[in-house]
Amino acid sequence: MSEAVNKSFHAWIQARKDNAFAGFEQPLDALIQFKKQEADLLGYEQHPYNALMNDYDKGLTVEIVDRVFADLKPQLSALLEKIKNKKQVDNAFLHQHFNKDQQWLFGIEILKQMHFDFEAGRQDISEHPFTINFNSNDVRITTRIDENDFGNMTWSCLHEGGHALYEQGLPSEEYGLPLSEYCSLSIHESQSRLWENGVGRGMAFWKHNYALLNKFFPEQFKGIEIAQFYKGINKVQPSLIRTEADEITYHFHVMIRYDIEKMLIEGSIKTKDIPAYWNEHYEKYLGIKVPDDKSGCLQDVHWSHGSCGYFATYSLGSLYAAQLYAAICRENPQLEKELAAGNNRNLLAWLQQQIYRHGRYYTSEELCSRATGETLNSKYFMDYAGKKYNDIYAV
């Protein structure tokens, strides 16, 4: 497996340079055969892909994901179709020149507001934002800064800050044991998405922070009212690249990858079929033609190092985030007012009580049920999205 991963990764690098999937197809196929063997060795019930998803989310099955995605897909398609028929919002003001030092200082202020503990962590710059931890008292995050794109750094800080708060909140007295480990990648992603989108793309957050933003960038946001800013940061537009997608179209990127992986492992498609399947479904769901392999099926590193079973957790994280946020609001109807006043201590305390302190004691579904009263239900994300985009696009 290690040898196959090494060959596959370097073949992927070269294939991206050549902008041709053909050079990656055979090494990837060899790796997929090993992943099938791995699934057999690990053991599974019903579907071999379950064994691989279990690496990232204990107890996650094809049955669960298929049910959630089957419910989500038609609702997202209907919402996206309505948005397409409305006047598009303008977010050009996010693509001016923003000094990197000022962006950095603004990001630090946001992290401080989130109560990221700088005595137990730090932030640095990297090519791709990530979080790494050694224990709950040493949690390091990175961000990236594009001087022509304000959103890159800001929502990276919020996203990675959400991951970091989870790691910093795990019980330090249980270090080295499952009770001091995160529940799953789905729940981890729920924490980053809750802060990035539920909070950081919400009107309440910016009611408090818009004055601060204008203090750091007085020229760039001159004449831009907060309502226009709010619409701009929540613009929905189908695109080719998963990591740059908005909250609605993002799920189609994930579902296409999930379907491909599942079919590769069950043997219903071959690796040579990937580009055609990918291109067909990007046009079907997002209405865009994929111009080449580099911006299509070669864009993610995951397959090249054998990370099969990972992609579904990205969407599940967003769904869990919406369900958790709805539960918090039910228990604390004043939450939005608190956020508008710059107070997120009650939000953090709820997450500490309901999520962080339990470590890996429960599965994702069990933890969700304890915190919200039911297992994962895409209704909460669609309620959240429906309300938000009705405000923005009058859908």
Residues 6+ apart with CB under 8 A from 364: 57, 58, 59, 60, 183, 184, 186, 187, 316, 320, 376
The DSSP output letter for 222 is T
CA distances (Å), 368 to each of 22, 63, 371, in order? 42, 17, 5
Three-state SS at 95:
coil
The neighbouring-strand residues paired with 132 are: 140
Confirm if 11 and 24 have CB atoms less than 8 A apart.
yes
Instruction: State the catalytic residue, choosing from 81, 119, 147, 160.
Output: 160
Burial of residue 143, with CB atoms counted within 10 A of its CB: 0-12 exposed, 13-18 middle, 19 or more buried: buried
Whole-angstrom Cα Rg for the chain: 21
Residue 197 tokens read as 């989108």
Q: Using the structure block, give the residue that is written with the tokens 């939000």.
A: 347
- DSSP 8-class letter at 305: G
Expressed in angstroms, the distance from the first to the final Cα of the chain is 49
Q: β-pairing, 138-143 with 131-135?
A: antiparallel
Examine the residue annotation and report whether 331 is marked as an active-site residue of this protein.
no
**344-349: long-range pairs with CB below 8 Å, 24+:** 344/113, 344/114, 344/115, 344/199, 345/115, 347/199, 348/114, 348/115, 348/165
Residues facing 135 on adjacent strands: 138
On whether the CB atoms of residues 188 and 163 are closer than 8 A, the answer is yes
> Dihedral, CA atoms, 331, 332, 336, 341, nearest 10 degrees?
-160
Residue type present at position 56 = Y
How many whole angstroms separate alpha carbon 392 and alpha carbon 227? 9
CA distance 91 to 231: 8
Active site (catalytic) residues:
160
